[in-house]
Structure 1
Amino acid sequence: MLVRANLATSVASAGLALALAAPAHAASEAPASDAPVAEKSGGGAPAAPVDDSIVVTARRRAETVQTVPLAVTVVGGAHIENTGAFNVGRLTQLTPTLQFYSSNPRNTSVNIRGLGAPLGLTNDGIEQGVGVYIDDVFYARAASSTFDFLDVSRIEVLRGPQGTLFGKNTTAGALNITTRAPTFDPEARLEATAGNLGFVQLKGAVSGPLSDTLAVRLAGSFTQRDGTIYNVTQRQWINSQDNKGARLQFLWRPSSGVEVTLAGDYNKQNPNCCALVYVRTGATQRPANRQYAALAAAQNYAVPSTNPFDRLTDEDVALRAKNETGGVSLRAKIQTGLGTITSITAWRFWDWDPSNDRDYLGLPITTKSNNPSHQDQYTQELRLTGETGRFNYTVGAFGFYQKIHTTGVQQQGPAASKFLIAPSNALSNDPSVLNGLTASNDITLKNTSAAIYGKFGYKLTDTLSIQPGVRLNYDKKDGVYNSTVTDGNGNLVVFKINPATGKSANSSREAAQLAVLAPQYFVANFSDWNLSGDVTLAWDPTRDVHVYGTYARSFKSGGINLNGVPSNTDGTPLLQFATIKPERVNHFEVGIKTQFWGRKGTFNVAAFRTEINDYQAQVSNYTVGALRGYLANAEKVRTQGVEVDFALRPSERFSVYSNAAYTDAKYVRFKNAPCPPELSGGTQPVDSNGNLTSPPAAPGVSGVSPLSCDISGQVLPGVSKWSFSYGGEVNLPVQAFGGEGQVYLGVDGNYRSRFSSNPTPSAYTWVEGYALTNFRLGVRRDGRFDIYGWVRNAFDTKYFDQLAVASGNTGLIVGQVGDPRTYGLTVRTQF
């Protein structure tokens, strides 16, 4: 009892220390996995990402990664820590088919094989296609993926539809993250890192028993780093990191057949973030005096540098990206004669408080562009997993309720009139026309989802099995979009119609204001039932060869456009754009998993083809107004490719791995897509039937713009055709820290070929391919102590995370530059 009392005191003391010294940051919370997983510690090299002994719970039962018949990449906690992959953005460097884009936490996309969520501004009214689960709890907002991983045991990246295995439907795949559970053996983990750019990261966890049946675990993390962009206006470095988080778990095990975990977490980010820098300009079809060069010259303005890798900006709005999330979950597992019953009850919240400079320049054009948002979500999942003879099963029911309230504001500044109104209009010389013009948005969404699902398996022979799955889903969304506009004097700006003529009765001043910010109000509703399913055939011809084939008929729920919709000339919203149809998915996949050389080597191959009808695509009308982007259904898209995972560990002294992916993702049919900026911005004279009366001009030539463009056959955004990750480690035995240890050298890296960074491919927004290489050199002893120096992006590769078309279609292209070379020292201990 004295040991337990001391441990309880240690836990409380550690918690206080973490709260005072580094109120930790975490990737999230939650309870233990369905099966315990022994993490490889010991003195040898960390296991490569593919390992026959790694146990996964991707199918809600304990299986080794090599025998589970689906494409899954498993990254263990030790590998995550050693490679510095402390968030999802870094995880993409280890898993080639995972894509992550984040201009700020709210505008974050997590995709697998090019599918998941549209690349661009987040729309509250749609679902994400890649499910993020932490200890079985579904995270509805992709913003949660920007937080640091905390005390992670392993991450499973499941590729392809997973709706018959998970509570919330996941059409593109899932990130199944398992944290370390409370232990009945006392343990503690501490880690401290310091590096250039003022980088400081502290992590800690302590765990142990409070009684014979109750264990506790407290974990915390703190990350801070100076920014990588210098703001010459504010005279400070921006795009910094500031992450804190903590998680507390209690595990109650009253008997061998009952296990209950209560978990709570809180996570906070408050960096000076997030700026995009000038990259280039490209000609649009606007008149020359309305393109960037002329507009900037008219105000005697020049950016501080036209080389984006000088890492300079002069954005004149104070930036903020305050991001808070947390919640509580209760997870109960009961062993019965039918199998294991698991119940997961959870509540989560998300608060987003931003400040942005959406003109990306040092001119006061847009002085406010913020969308503070609050979300509450409630989930309940109940499932039964069991096996009898040749038959196994997982059946479950899932309920989800989410409420989002967003209160946005966009305000124009004193430079807006000259930049946004045509120079031929005398009003362009009157700053008061647009100065103080403000759109105040009030947006709400209520999202309800319920499902029953099941996955079954039957062994036809000792080596051949069939595994069908089914899902019945109901979704309902209710949304309200309300945007009011006031001028600089606080007067409402509205559309006025002359009842006698049916034409606009607005003054020229009001017309100029409405062309920039327009009021809009609409209510939209969506509801739908869907039945989907899949079937897998698995064959194990030998102990070390496993073959599978899968067909899945899946769907992604329809949604509501809550960023505003196009309107007609009198401001009436076009409600046919208010809702988005569900995606209908047909997925085919075959794979083979093999091991050789006495299981020292692993070689896995998967080939897939996914076809989606009514793909939910992000579009933009490239106007100067507040309608920055909305969603529409592309008729059909397709992604197909091949993935290869290779790992070799001939001895405890040496290991290597390599993962490769070829992904061919394109629009099969999208005939009425928005045109790229080089074909936009010109006049659009139409006849009574809505047809252009003049032929479109050539790209970048001032004149007539097409009403829409056929981009069938062009690539989906954000997808590299080729991507690779690779790494290895070699170590030698030494006497270290009073015992036998190893000195080791490790390397890991990744490459991706060029990709389009705009929903409609544009000549101006291709991100060129790049390779990143990281090194680490250190010494460790028996898994208890580890000290190593590291360098990331060792060759200081200059690259972009993404490019974007600035609003107004002036031809300005801005970008998010990737991290430069960073280096530091990490000390880790475990006892």
Structure 2
Amino acid sequence: MFNNKSAVNTFSLSLLSLSLTTSTPSLAQGQQNADDIPIEIISVSGAFKRPKSIVDTPVSSTVLDGDFLRELKTDTLTDVANLTPNFQIAQGGSETNSKVAIRGISSVGNSAIEPAVGVFIDDVFYPRSGSVIGNLYDVNTVEVLRGPQGTLFGRNTPAGAVTIQTNDPTFSQDGFVSLAFGNFGEQQLSGAYSDAISDTLALRIAANLSTRDGYGYNDLSQQDVGDKETQAARLKLLFEPSDNWRTLFSFDISKLDSGGPIIELINETALPQFVGTLNAIYGATPLTDDSFDRNINQAHNDSLDDEQYGGSVESSYEFQTGHEFKVIAAHRKWDAEFTESLVRLTPSLIDRNNYFTSNNTSFELQFLSPEEQTLQYVVGAYLYDESFDIDQDFALGEAYCSPTIFSVILSQALAQGAPEQVAFENASASATQCAGLEQAQAISSEFNQDTRSYALFGQLTYPLTSSFEATLGGRYTRDEKDGSFVQMVNNPFAGLFRTSESSPDLAFDDDKFTWFINGQYSIAKNINVFASVSTGFKSGGFNSEGGSEALSEQNQRVFDSETTTNYELGIKSDKFRGLIFGLTLFRIELDDFQARSFDGQTFIVRNAAELVQQGLELDYTWQFNESLSLMGGLAWLDSEFSDFPNAPGLPGSQDVQDLKGRPNLYSPDLQTTNALRFKTSLPHTDDYQFHATLSHQYTAEQDVGGALNANPQGIQDAYHLLGATLGLSSSVYAWRIEAYAGNLTDESYCLTIFEQPFGQVLGAIDAVTNTSAQRCVLGNPKTYGVRFSYDF
């Protein structure tokens, strides 16, 4: 377990969180007439493919509107996660390796494994989590739907779905421009403009440009590390030739350049033999004074060049009967080039160059019943096709052949009893030979995968009585995958961590029927209780990484599908004195869980376990009066493997483990989020308003290890994140100026903790204590700035 560098006093912040909650009754009692307070009931559309109030939607969900997201300067999905219980974004060694997790269930991002959480932007599925890491801008709503959404959504939602709706064109002039400046050299310019072109055609243009310096500093290179620059633009055209025909065209493009995350060596895990080996071979170590201060002393050649673009057409026609026919067609392309320093020592040892390319096309048909009809239903079909390529090159650094290979050969020869002079000469000859062979592409691999998915789906809702309605849904999905993996070791001295392999004819196919059963009962006006059972599945596929042993020879290149069954019991209401809330009890059972193990050199996905995630979720908004409100949530999560007999061993151990009864990764037993919002007019005028927001998130202790082996070294201690905005606006002149801050207390915490690569060779593993040197991917530091906005 690792303590945070600038840990906030847990007791005082717990009191803060408690005060935000317990103060609400007294505030409510102070109202003259709480029932007269206007409450904004958010309308959602993701869960049932038609607008419904959040109170009438029997799904555990958090919905954030665009104005609130702008107010808190919520720029990324990571920022959304900080406002949403049981929703996390965990970043690995690169931004392309981001894991989107709901209820502690996620999938690694930089491999061919399918996501456990589906992300949909304007009803279009984004298949790779690495492609949704860019900035959010000009957003209307973000919905986080927890639990399997396997009936109405396109693909891969066994844990849940995130649906993002951007703002559509309007037939009246609308828009904004925003300019922000912050610490770390942050500069951000964003804006949108919407207006009518004709009586039947309107457009909306939105763009976002942002840049900042790195959050860390490299003492070795005397440079900042982790800089980031994003550019994004979106064009929407809305064509409405009549009241019953609507077609929306959307085109977007984005580019992200990044210097990678800050990855520090955790000093207390650096074994004496590891430090001694590094000093003996390289004369220096990556140790720093503080493991969490974002100062590093190591090779950091990380860079990310991420580009994507796409277009979609959504056309709907409403017949005279009120029935609606909808077509959604989309094509997207994502390219990412990512370079990382693999070993992260003082000299450059090995760089891994990754090239990701995804081309995908989707086509969906929906037929919906009239909204006023007693029997509500939606039926449809879905087609999806993706070509996904991952190419890798391992480039040897200046210190690989000498002194690294020299030292390895020398120590092996001496251990085998060779005379010192002979051992020295053999080691020198090997180092010279290594240097004369391929360096830039010492190892190269190519992975290709073609996916075709077909689905038929339907869902209907019928009121059996005036107070009780039932919903039934089902979806039949068939996935077919073809692939190939080829790895070439072009420099045999790189065979320490990779071997040649050829698997040219990979094939996988599976079909599943997933379903949803729900009953909702209105026990009083605006108070609904519901119970539901639903299923979901995540398609199997292929391991896209190579290893020191050929995976094809161990029958590990292909893994099977993962299935989930979810049980929920909940209550939602907007009846109590300005309070809107939803409370859900849930239990998710996962079979053939796609577990990820690490053998010290490569990651392998395999079906290895049965997992149960269960708990309670609370979402609420409390409008105390016209000026003050509190929104937030709480998630209690109990995670346990019900069967995991052959789990990977701890570092240095050749034995498997039985992890039955142990929790999954990224499954804290408690998360809370709170945002206290205040807005009022300045004295003696209604033309100027002051507003302030204080946000707080608490995340309990959790395992954030890079591999699923229950290593206690991967435990991240509980931490708090505190944010705030203060602003002044003019209702007459439509301007707004705000000061904002994130992670106000400069809390240091690890998004991911993983074992030191090549730890066995470098002496970083203690086979007696089963411990290893660990690396920490640090979360963002304290950020602050000022922003000016103008609406028109």
TM-score normalised to structure 1 length = 0.83
In the alignment, the residues of structure 2 paired with residue 51 and residue 670 of structure 1 have an alpha-carbon distance, to the nearest angstrom, of 47
Choose between structure 1 and 2: higher helix proportion. 2
Q: What's the counterpart of residue 122 of structure 1?
A: 110
Q: What's the counterpart of residue 405 of structure 1?
A: 389
Secondary structure of the 1:86 match is: coil
Structure 2 residue aligned with 1:751, among 695, 698, 706?
698
Shift of 1:201: 1.2
In the alignment, the residues of structure 2 paired with residue 543 and residue 232 of structure 1 have an alpha-carbon distance, to the nearest angstrom, of 64
Structure 2 residue aligned with 1:729, among 669, 674, 677?
677
Q: What's the counterpart of residue 476 of structure 1?
A: 480
In the alignment, the residues of structure 2 paired with residue 748 and residue 274 of structure 1 have an alpha-carbon distance, to the nearest angstrom, of 24
The one-letter code matched in structure 2 to 1:478 is D
Where does 1:74-473 land on structure 2 (aligned, <5 Å)? Answer: 74-103=63-92, 104-118=94-108, 122-124=110-112, 126-280=113-267, 282=269, 291-303=274-286, 305-336=288-319, 337=321, 339-366=323-350, 368-387=351-370, 389-416=373-400, 419=404, 421=408, 423-425=411-413, 426=423, 430-432=430-432, 434-435=434-435, 436=438, 438-473=442-477
In the alignment, the residues of structure 1 paired with residue 404 and residue 607 of structure 2 have an alpha-carbon distance, to the nearest angstrom, of 33
Answer whether contact 1:752 1:771 (CA < 8 A) is retained: yes
Structure 1 residue aligned with 2:557, among 572, 578, 587?
578
In the alignment, the residues of structure 2 paired with residue 428 and residue 459 of structure 1 have an alpha-carbon distance, to the nearest angstrom, of 80
Q: Tell me: CA distance 1:219–1:735, structure 2 relative to 1, closer, same or farther (3 Å).
A: farther
Q: What's the counterpart of residue 54 of structure 2?
A: 65
- Whether 1:672 aligns to 2:646 is yes
Q: What's the counterpart of residue 561 of structure 1?
A: 543
Alignment deviations for residues 742-764 of structure 1 (CA, whole Å, 9 cap, x no partner): 21222011010111122222122
In the alignment, the residues of structure 2 paired with residue 84 and residue 760 of structure 1 have an alpha-carbon distance, to the nearest angstrom, of 37
Answer whether contact 2:455 2:475 (CA < 8 A) is retained: yes
Secondary structure of the 1:764 match is: helix
- Whether 1:774 aligns to 2:723 is yes
Answer whether contact 2:727 2:736 (CA < 8 A) is retained: yes
Where does 1:490-569 land on structure 2 (aligned, <5 Å)? Answer: 493=492, 513-522=494-503, 523-564=505-546, 567=549
Shift of 1:476: 0.8
Shift of 1:603: 2.7
Shift of 1:296: 3.9
Shift of 1:812: 2.5
Secondary structure of the 1:442 match is: strand
In the alignment, the residues of structure 1 paired with residue 156 and residue 489 of structure 2 have an alpha-carbon distance, to the nearest angstrom, of 38
Secondary structure of the 1:518 match is: coil
Shift of 1:163: 1.5
Shift of 1:58: 2.5
Q: What's the counterpart of residue 643 of structure 1?
A: 617
* Greater shift in the superposed pair: 373-382 or 230-239: 230-239
Shift of 1:406: 2.2
Secondary structure of the 1:270 match is: strand
Q: Tell me: CA distance 1:76–1:53, structure 2 relative to 1, closer, same or farther (3 Å).
A: closer
Answer whether contact 1:356 1:369 (CA < 8 A) is retained: yes
Shift of 1:231: 1.8
- Whether 1:606 aligns to 2:593 is no
Secondary structure of the 2:95 match is: coil
Q: What's the counterpart of residue 504 of structure 1?
A: none
Q: What's the counterpart of residue 789 of structure 2?
A: 828
Structure 2 segments unaligned to the other structure (5+ residues):
1-36, 414-422, 765-771
Answer whether contact 1:803 1:814 (CA < 8 A) is retained: yes
The one-letter code matched in structure 2 to 1:525 is A
Shift of 1:433: 5.8
Shift of 1:304: 5.5
What is the aligned length?
717
Shift of 1:230: 0.8
Secondary structure of the 1:294 match is: helix
Shift of 1:275: 4.2
Answer whether contact 2:478 2:512 (CA < 8 A) is retained: yes
Superposed CA RMSD in Å reads: 2.2
Shift of 1:613: 0.8
Alignment deviations for residues 458-501 of structure 1 (CA, whole Å, 9 cap, x no partner): 110111011011010000111111110112xxxxx4xxxxxxxx
In the alignment, the residues of structure 2 paired with residue 433 and residue 674 of structure 1 have an alpha-carbon distance, to the nearest angstrom, of 36
* Greater shift in the superposed pair: 306-315 or 86-95: 306-315
Q: What's the counterpart of residue 712 of structure 1?
A: 660
Where does 1:584-599 land on structure 2 (aligned, <5 Å)? Answer: 584-598=563-577
Percent identity for Structure 1 against Structure 2: 25
In the alignment, the residues of structure 2 paired with residue 668 and residue 779 of structure 1 have an alpha-carbon distance, to the nearest angstrom, of 54
Answer whether contact 2:152 2:458 (CA < 8 A) is retained: yes
In the alignment, the residues of structure 2 paired with residue 622 and residue 768 of structure 1 have an alpha-carbon distance, to the nearest angstrom, of 24
Where does 1:683-698 land on structure 2 (aligned, <5 Å)? Answer: none
Shift of 1:232: 2.6
* Greater shift in the superposed pair: 668-677 or 217-226: 668-677
Shift of 1:207: 0.4
Q: What's the counterpart of residue 34 of structure 1?
A: none
Alignment deviations for residues 559-582 of structure 1 (CA, whole Å, 9 cap, x no partner): 111113673xxx573252111111
Shift of 1:294: 2.4
Alignment deviations for residues 237-279 of structure 1 (CA, whole Å, 9 cap, x no partner): 1112211100001100000000101110000001222441212
Q: What's the counterpart of residue 502 of structure 1?
A: none
Alignment deviations for residues 717-764 of structure 1 (CA, whole Å, 9 cap, x no partner): 12211111101122332179x962221222011010111122222122
Alignment deviations for residues 693-714 of structure 1 (CA, whole Å, 9 cap, x no partner): xxxxxxxxxxxx3332222221
Structure 2 residue aligned with 1:813, among 771, 774, 781?
774
The one-letter code matched in structure 2 to 1:606 is T
- Whether 1:617 aligns to 2:595 is yes
The one-letter code matched in structure 2 to 1:562 is S
Secondary structure of the 1:803 match is: strand
The one-letter code matched in structure 1 to 2:563 is R
Q: Tell me: CA distance 1:343–1:717, structure 2 relative to 1, closer, same or farther (3 Å).
A: same
Q: Tell me: CA distance 1:722–1:248, structure 2 relative to 1, closer, same or farther (3 Å).
A: same
Shift of 1:338: 5.8
In the alignment, the residues of structure 2 paired with residue 706 and residue 808 of structure 1 have an alpha-carbon distance, to the nearest angstrom, of 16
Shift of 1:798: 2.0
Secondary structure of the 1:359 match is: coil
Alignment deviations for residues 770-821 of structure 1 (CA, whole Å, 9 cap, x no partner): 1011121111233932211122111222222221112113233111222222
Answer whether contact 1:657 1:728 (CA < 8 A) is retained: yes
Q: Tell me: CA distance 1:92–1:391, structure 2 relative to 1, closer, same or farther (3 Å).
A: same
Secondary structure of the 1:651 match is: coil
Shift of 1:546: 0.8
Answer whether contact 2:543 2:556 (CA < 8 A) is retained: yes
The one-letter code matched in structure 2 to 1:316 is A
TM-score normalised to structure 2 length = 0.87
Shift of 1:206: 0.3
Answer whether contact 2:249 2:312 (CA < 8 A) is retained: yes
Structure 1 segments unaligned to the other structure (5+ residues):
1-47, 488-492, 494-511, 681-704
Shift of 1:346: 0.5
In the alignment, the residues of structure 1 paired with residue 154 and residue 266 of structure 2 have an alpha-carbon distance, to the nearest angstrom, of 42
Q: Tell me: CA distance 1:262–1:732, structure 2 relative to 1, closer, same or farther (3 Å).
A: closer
Shift of 1:823: 1.2
Q: Tell me: CA distance 1:727–1:282, structure 2 relative to 1, closer, same or farther (3 Å).
A: same
The one-letter code matched in structure 2 to 1:815 is C
Secondary structure of the 2:69 match is: helix
In the alignment, the residues of structure 2 paired with residue 580 and residue 181 of structure 1 have an alpha-carbon distance, to the nearest angstrom, of 41
The one-letter code matched in structure 1 to 2:568 is E
In the alignment, the residues of structure 1 paired with residue 562 and residue 301 of structure 2 have an alpha-carbon distance, to the nearest angstrom, of 39
